[in-house]
Amino acid sequence: MKRFIGFVKKEFYHIFRDKRSLFILFGMPIAQILLFGFAITNEINNVEIAILDQSKEVTTQEIIHKISASKYFNINQLIEKESDIERIFKKGKVKAVLNFEKNFSKNLITKKNAKIQVITDATDPNTANTISNYINAILQNYLKEETTSSLKAYKIEPKTRMVYNPELKSVYMFVPGVMTIILMLVSAMMTSISITKEKEIGTMEILLVSPLKPNQVIVGKVFPYIFLSIINAIVIIVLSIFIFKMPVYGSFFLLAIESVLFIITALALGILISTISATQQTAMMISLMGLMLPVILLSGFIFPITSMPLPLQVISNIIPAKWFIIIIKAVMLKGVGLQFVWKETLILIGMAVLFIGVSVKKYKIRLE
Amino acid sequence: MMNNTKVIQVEGLTKLFGDFVAVNKISFEVEKGEIFGFLGANGAGKTTAIKMLIGISKPNEGKALVAGFDVFTQAEEIKNNIGYMSQKFALYDDLTVKENITFFGGIYGLSKKIIKEKTTSLIEDLELQKVTNSLVGSLPLGWKQKLSFSVALIHNPKIVFLDEPTGGVDPITRRQFWELIYKAASKGTTVFVTTHYMDEAEYCDRVSIMVNGKIEALNTPKKLKEHFNVENMNDVFLKLARG
Tens-digit pLDDT profile for residues A229-251: 999 889 888 988 888 888 889 99
Mean local confidence (pLDDT), B103-129: 92
ipTM: 0.87
Helix axes A171-184, A320-329, angle to 10 degrees: 140
Residue B202 has pLDDT above 70, yes or no: yes
Partner B contacted by A3 (CB < 8 A) = yes
Contact criterion met (CB < 8 Å) for B89 and A201: yes
Contact criterion met (CB < 8 Å) for B90 and A205: yes
CATH code of domain A47-151? 3.40.1710.10
How close B100 gets to chain A, by Cα (Å)? 9
A2: which chain B residues are within 8 Å (Cβ-Cβ)? 106, 109
B89: which chain A residues are within 8 Å (Cβ-Cβ)? 201-202
Higher pLDDT, B92 or A303: B92
In whole angstroms, give the CA distance from residue A203 to residue B84: 11
Domain boundaries, chain A: 2-40+169-367, 47-151
Q: What are phi and psi of A247, to 5 degrees?
A: -80, 150
Higher pLDDT, B194 or A37: B194
CATH code of domain B32-45+77-241? 3.40.50.300
For chain A, state the CA radius of gyration.
28
Q: What is the mean pLDDT of chain B?
A: 90
Contact (Cβ atoms closer than 8 angstroms) between residue A195 and residue A221: yes
- Per DSSP, the three-state class of A359 is helix
Closest-CA residue to A363 (of A195, A193, A187): A195
A14: which chain B residues are within 8 Å (Cβ-Cβ)? 92, 94-95
Contact (Cβ atoms closer than 8 angstroms) between residue B180 and residue B35: no
Instruction: Indicate the pLDDT class of residue B1, thresholds 50, 70 and 90.
Output: very low
Contact (Cβ atoms closer than 8 angstroms) between residue A206 and residue B91: no
A contact residues 195-224, partner B, Cβ 8 Å cutoff: 201-203, 205-213
Closest-CA residue to A283 (of A212, A172, A169, A190): A190
How close B151 gets to chain A, by Cα (Å)? 11
Instruction: Indicate the pLDDT class of residue A156, thresholds 50, 70 and 90.
Output: low
Q: Percentage of chain B surpassing pLDDT 90?
A: 63
Closest-CA residue to A220 (of A195, A201, A202, A200): A195
Choose among A14, A18, A201: nearest Cβ to B88: A201
Contact criterion met (CB < 8 Å) for A6 and B94: no
The confidence score (pLDDT) of residue B2 equals 46
In whole angstroms, give the CA distance from residue A246 to residue A237: 9
Contact criterion met (CB < 8 Å) for A209 and B88: no
Contact criterion met (CB < 8 Å) for B109 and A205: no
Helix axes A191-201, A252-276, angle to 10 degrees: 30
Contact criterion met (CB < 8 Å) for B104 and A205: no
Residue B55 has pLDDT above 70, yes or no: yes
pLDDT digits 0-9 by tens, A345-368: 999 999 999 998 888 888 766 554
Contact criterion met (CB < 8 Å) for A205 and B103: no
A208: which chain B residues are within 8 Å (Cβ-Cβ)? 56
How close A209 gets to chain B, by Cα (Å)? 6
Contact (Cβ atoms closer than 8 angstroms) between residue A89 and residue A79: no
Residue B158 has pLDDT above 80, yes or no: yes
Mention every residue, 6+ apart, whose C-beta is less than 8 A from residue B225: B231, B232, B233, B235, B236
Higher pLDDT, B142 or A261: A261
Contact (Cβ atoms closer than 8 angstroms) between residue B164 and residue B196: yes
Contact criterion met (CB < 8 Å) for B56 and A209: yes
Contact criterion met (CB < 8 Å) for A211 and B82: no
A368: which chain B residues are within 8 Å (Cβ-Cβ)? 57-58
Contact criterion met (CB < 8 Å) for B94 and A209: no
Q: What is the mean pLDDT of chain A?
A: 85
